[in-house]
Each structure stands twice: as structure tokens, then as C-alpha cells.
């Protein structure tokens, strides 16, 4: 059983604090070809280049010590083996295992968490059968036509991860299969999606673990109404992905039901049926299994104790170096791949909901920073947008670049002897160098300060396998940072107060609809409705 210690209590923390007073300089020739080759590692299809971080061999030794002292790998293994890690010692908490890795631990004869992996395999078999029925035509609509469209209704973890993966891999879609997403309770979200869809050939995949998520139930009802108005029976079109025994676990209301389990948090659930049903529909069963294979390989690579041979662990430690020691408050995720257009939004959830915490695992307030703000957009678009601040702003923003040697569609054009893909990659390399080395100039406006830390993840092509690997890479990085910061990365109590107050506002609105709300009992709520002009209340 690993011991849980605060970041600041580790001996290596003192060393790193000292080193941070004079971090290595990357300018004026100090970034050498030798350093580029030396600060490079490989895991499950990805190379990580980190010569453009403000690191040296000494700091890397201290980071290795920190990883060992914090028992990061021991904790990662304990997680994979099913230890109850989602808890706060001495206080009421969710008290759950954390087993998203079990969803893809299906290729080995002896999975680390056998029961969870068996449950995952069972759901996979159900999915395989369902997809086969769609493919061989035994499952069709009432007119005998095939289903061509899926709408995924979910929010948060039931939306962002699956959506990011769908966009990333849409290039490999089966012919005549298309997916849309409805997440926001804003009725305009659903209205925009429902416009111009042939509902009779559409499956609706409703995803909610609890079966009681307000936004999802509201949108499910809104979409059901559209089906009924079109003369269609929702139970012949709707699929449920939910927890066993939830209010949605009701076979009469759904064409098929798939299960998710409470040992998988929403934001880590893309490789469960939460992503699987939709991705299987869009890409086919084999492609979904390839995603799982990539994730499984990265999960295995992440067990390496040598930080220089383990990308997730090294990225986690470099992140802490930049955040806790060099005091940079945010991290930009900048993928040079249009397919990854929603990947930063997924990581925003996965990282910030996991590690945006202010107490440790004993309920004591932290005396150091936990999770950073995560943001980003695909390059080269970003270059024409916010890169100005990253190069010349008064804040330093550490960057994690992601790139691929080949494009997905392979539809390219050569202009001036280089392809578009070459131009994309040339920009990626140029930005990494420019941020690190900077440039002097007599004109202060043309001066680039340099020393802006960044790293570069690169793989051959964005495929189901590499997407699975990349997803698992960041999931592992995030939980490893949580272990290092000694926080519970698996709950989300911070969303509860807003929910509670929203329910109060809705109670007021409902009471007003019945004509019996007088503004008493919640002066501030009444004043908000009045001041915003959302409801005029006569007192």
C-alpha cells in the first residue's frame, strides 16, 4: 500500500525548488542537435521531444527522485489493480475503485482487474452483435431501411471525450454513417442538430451513468418529442448507455441497453460503452478495438519506472516542474492536426475536473498549486490568433505540441515543392524552436524573449490506434499528477453547489408558473431573477 504524502514533504521538492531559481537557459546556441537527440523518448506509437523544456540532467534526476518518493508508479499500478482510490480519508466520499484502464485490458490472458475487464468484454460482445445486426440488415427501421445517423445525447464525460474521438477519426467513417451530438440544455443546441436530419433512419444514443442527468433527460425528451411528431416510435430508435439499475435501465423504452460501471468516472469513460457504441457505429467494431489496443499499449508503457522511458510520467513531472517550480499557471495543448479540433476541450474536462482541487487526500488544504488551466486550439490556426501572447506576452504559457508525420485523408497538394502536410510540420517545428530559442533585435518590438518551455509529441498518423494511445497518454498523465499532488483526481464535488442553486432557481420559476411565488424565502435568488430581467416579480 503506497503512502500518500504532500508534494512539499518530499526531499526532492527542496532540490527542485533550488534548481528553479536558475532554470537552464535555452537561448544563444544552448539548444544543440545533441540535446535534441538526447531528450527524446518513445511510448506506444508516440515520440516525445522535450529538449525545448527548461530542464537539464540534474533536474531530471530530481524529477525521477520525486516520482519515486511519491510512489507514482506504485499508485498507478494500485489503481489499475482496483484499489479504492476515489476517496478522502476520514470524510464521506464516493469510495470507489478507478478502473477505466480495465476497459482496454482485454488483450492479455491475465488482466490486472479481472472482474472489470470481464464486464468490459461482455459489453463489447453485446456491441459486436448489435453492430453486426446493423451491418447484415437484420436490424432496420420500420420501413426496412438501414440506419445512417446517430445522435449522441450526453453531457460532460458522456459528450466531450466521445465527441473529440469522433472528430479525430471521422476520416475513417463507414460509408453513409454520420454522428451528431446534443449536450447543452440550451434548446438551440438540439434544434440546430435536428434540422435537416432524417429521423426515420436515425438512432439516438442516450448516455447517462446515473440515468438522472438533468440536461440529458431534458434533451432526450426534446428529441423524443421530435420523433413522435414525425410519427416515429422512440423505443424503436433509442439506445441507452447507463448504469445497471439506473432509472434509464429499462429495456421497454430502448432498442438496446449497454452498461457503464461506477468504477469508471465520466471523464475517463471514452473507451467504455460511453464512447464505444457511437464509435462502433461510425467506424465499425474493429476500429473501436484498435482504439482500445492503442490505449492498452500506452497503459502498459505508463508502468515504466524510468521517467526517461515513460511519456505520461515524464509529461506529468515536466508539468509539475513548469507549474509548481517555475510558476506557470496554464498549459496550452496545441495539436497540428485538424482532426484533434476538440481534443483540447476534452482535456480541459479530464484534467481540470480531475486536478482542480484544493484539499489533499486527508482533507487538508494544499499549500501548493494543483491542476493548471488547460486550453488550446489546433495549429496553424492558433498561430494566426493567440500565439502573439505565447511569444511576446508578459505571462509564460508552457505548450504541449502534438503532430503527425502524415495526414489522414492523404489528399494533398504540392506548391513550391512542399506539400500542405510539409507546411503544417514546418510550422510545428518552427514554433517549438522559436519559443525556446527566442531572438534578439535592435527593435524591441521584434525581440523574442525565448525560454518559453514546450514539448512535442509526434506519431506517424492519427489513426484509431494512435488516438487510443494519445487518449490513454493524457489520462495517465493526469492521474499521475494527481498522485504527485496528493489529491483525489476522481471526484467532482465542486460541481454540486451550482447544481443545488440551479434547482432552487427552477423551483422559484416553477412556483411562479403556478402563480404562487412571492419572492420570500430566498431574497438573493429573487433579486437575481429581477435584476437580470429574467422574471419580473411584483412584490
Of 231, 415, 516, 520, the one binding a second copy by CB under 8 A: 415
CB of 56 to a second copy, least distance (A): 18
Q: Quote the least distance from Cβ 440 to a second copy, whole Å.
A: 11
Cβ-contact 397, 328 below 8 angstroms: yes
Angle, in degrees to the nearest 10, between helices 11-19 and 57-69 = 150
Residue 125 or 447: which CB sits closer to a second copy? 447
> Of 157, 170, 455, 422, whose CA–CA distance to 333 is shortest?
455
Residues near 190 by beta carbon (within 8 Å), at least 6 away in sequence = 182, 219, 222, 223
Binding range to a second copy, per CB under 8 A, among 71-79, 280-288, 338-346, 476-484: 338-346
- Taking the least distance from each CB to a second copy, the nearer of 65 and 93 is 93
Binds a second copy (CB under 8 A): choice among 4, 5, 27, 36: 36
Does residue 398 bind a second copy (CB under 8 A)? no
Which residues, 6+ apart, have CB-to-CB distance to 6 below 8 Å?
360, 366, 367, 368, 486
Q: How far is the CB of 108 from a second copy (least distance, A)?
A: 29
Residue with the three cell numbers 446517430: 150
What φ, ψ does residue 274 adopt, rounded to 5°?
-55, -40
Which range binds a second copy by CB under 8 A, 17-25, 62-70, 130-138, 356-364? 356-364
Residues recognised as catalytic: 353, 384, 499
Among 372, 398, 464, 482, binds a second copy (CB under 8 A): 372
Residue with grid cell 434509464, as numbered in its chain:
248
**Would you count residue 84 as binding a second copy (CB under 8 A)?**
no
Among 189, 249, 262, 303, binds a second copy (CB under 8 A): 189
Q: Which of 499, 518, 521, 537 binds a second copy (CB under 8 A)?
A: 499
Q: Which is nearer to a second copy, 113 or 390 (CB)?
A: 390
Shortest Å distance, C-beta 521 to a second copy: 13
Subset of 432-461 contacting a second copy (CB under 8 A): 432-434, 437-439, 443-449, 456, 458
* Residue 319 is a binding residue for a second copy (CB under 8 A): no
Q: List binders of a second copy among 98-127 (CB under 8 A).
A: none
Q: Cell 505571462 identifies what position?
A: 395
Strands of the sheet containing 330-335, edge to edge, are 40-43, 46-49, 454-459, 399-404, 330-335, 373-375
**Contact partners, residue 31, CB within 8 Å, separation at least 6:** 51, 52, 433, 436, 437
Q: How far apart are CA 84 and CA 95, in angstroms?
A: 6
Question: What CA–CA distance (Å, rounded) separates 216 from 457?
Answer: 35
Using CB under 8 A as the binding rule, whether residue 538 contacts a second copy is answered as no
Which residues, in sequence order, are CB contacts of 449 under 8 Å at separation 6+? 392, 438
Q: Which residues ranging from 241 to 280 are in contact with a second copy (CB under 8 A)?
A: 266-267
Does 475 bind a second copy (CB under 8 A)? Our answer is no
Q: Of 13, 180, 391, 477, which lies in the binding site for a second copy, with binding defined by CB under 8 A?
A: 391
Amino acid at each position: 500500500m503506497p503512502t500518500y504524502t504532500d508534494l512539499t514533504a518530499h526531499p526532492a521538492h527542496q532540490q527542485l525548488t533550488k534548481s528553479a531559481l536558475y532554470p537552464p537557459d535555452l537561448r544563444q546556441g544552448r539548444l544543440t542537435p545533441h540535446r535534441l537527440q538526447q531528450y527524446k523518448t518513445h511510448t506506444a506509437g508516440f515520440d516525445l521531444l522535450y529538449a525545448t523544456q527548461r530542464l537539464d540532467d540534474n533536474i531530471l534526476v530530481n524529477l525521477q527522485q520525486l516520482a519515486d518518493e511519491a510512489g507514482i508508479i506504485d499508485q498507478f499500478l494500485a489503481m489499475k489493480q482496483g484499489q479504492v482510490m476515489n476517496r478522502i480519508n476520514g470524510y464521506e466520499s464516493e469510495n470507489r475503485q478507478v478502473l477505466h484502464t480495465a476497459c482496454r485490458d482485454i488483450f492479455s490472458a491475465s488482466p490486472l482487474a479481472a472482474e472489470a475487464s470481464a464486464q468490459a468484454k461482455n459489453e463489447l460482445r453485446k456491441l459486436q452483435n448489435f453492430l453486426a445486426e446493423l451491418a447484415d440488415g437484420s436490424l432496420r427501421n420500420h420501413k426496412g431501411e438501414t440506419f445512417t445517423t446517430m445522435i449522441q445525447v450526453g453531457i460532460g464525460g458522456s459528450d466531450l471525450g466521445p465527441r473529440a474521438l469522433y472528430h479525430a477519426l471521422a476520416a475513417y467513417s463507414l460509408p453513409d454513417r454520420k454522428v451528431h451530438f446534443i449536450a447543452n440544455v440550451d434548446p438551440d443546441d438540439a434544434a440546430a442538430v435536428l434540422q435537416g436530419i432524417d429521423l426515420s433512419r436515425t438512432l439516438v444514443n442516450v448516455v447517462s451513468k446515473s440515468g438522472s442527468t438533468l440536461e440529458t433527460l431534458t434533451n432526450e425528451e426534446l428529441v423524443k418529442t421530435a420523433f413522435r411528431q414525425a410519427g416515429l416510435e422512440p423505443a424503436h430508435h433509442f439506445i441507452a448507455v447507463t448504469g445497471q439499475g439506473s432509472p434509464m435501465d429499462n429495456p421497454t423504452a430502448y432498442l438496446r441497453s449497454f452498461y457503464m460501471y461506477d468504477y469508471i468516472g465520466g471523464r475517463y469513460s471514452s473507451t467504455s460503452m460511453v464512447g464505444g457504441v457511437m464509435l462502433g457505429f461510425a467506424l465499425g467494431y474493429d476500429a473501436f478495438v484498435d482504439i482500445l489496443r492503442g490505449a492498452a499499449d500506452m497503459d502498459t508503457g505508463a508502468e515504466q519506472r524510468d521517467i526517461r522511458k515513460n511519456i505520461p510520467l515524464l509529461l506529468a513531472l515536466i508539468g509539475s516542474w513548469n507549474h509548481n517550480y517555475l510558476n506557470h499557471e496554464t498549459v496550452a495543448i496545441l495539436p497540428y492536426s485538424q482532426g484533434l479540433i476538440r481534443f483540447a476541450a476534452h482535456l480541459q474536462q479530464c484534467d481540470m475536473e480531475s486536478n482542480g482541487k484544493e484539499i489533499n487526500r486527508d482533507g487538508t488544504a494544499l499549500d501548493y498549486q494543483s491542476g493548471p488551466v488547460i486550453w488550446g486550439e489546433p495549429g496553424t490556426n492558433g498561430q494566426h490568433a493567440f500565439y502573439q501572447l505565447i511569444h511576446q506576452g508578459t505571462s509564460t504559457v508552457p505548450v504541449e505540441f502534438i503532430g503527425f508525420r502524415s495526414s489522414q485523408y492523404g489528399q494533398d497538394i504540392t506548391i513550391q515543392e512542399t506539400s500542405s502536410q510539409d507546411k503544417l510540420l514546418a510550422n510545428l517545428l518552427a514554433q517549438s524552436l522559436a519559443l525556446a530559442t527566442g531572438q534578439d533585435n535592435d527593435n524591441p518590438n521584434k525581440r523574442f524573449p525565448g525560454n518559453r518551455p514546450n514539448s512535442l509529441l509526434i506519431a506517424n498518423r492519427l489513426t484509431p490506434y494512435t488516438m487510443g494511445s494519445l487518449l490513454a497518454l493524457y489520462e495517465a498523465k493526469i492521474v499521475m499528477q494527481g498522485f504527485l499532488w496528493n489529491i483525489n483526481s476522481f471526484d467532482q464535488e465542486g460541481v454540486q453547489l451550482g447544481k443545488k442553486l440551479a434547482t432552487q432557481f427552477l423551483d422559484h420559476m416553477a412556483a411562479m408558473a403556478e402563480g404562487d411565488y412571492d419572492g420570500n424565502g430566498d431574497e438573493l435568488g429573487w433579486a437575481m431573477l429581477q435584476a437580470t430581467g429574467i422574471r419580473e416579480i411584483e412584490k
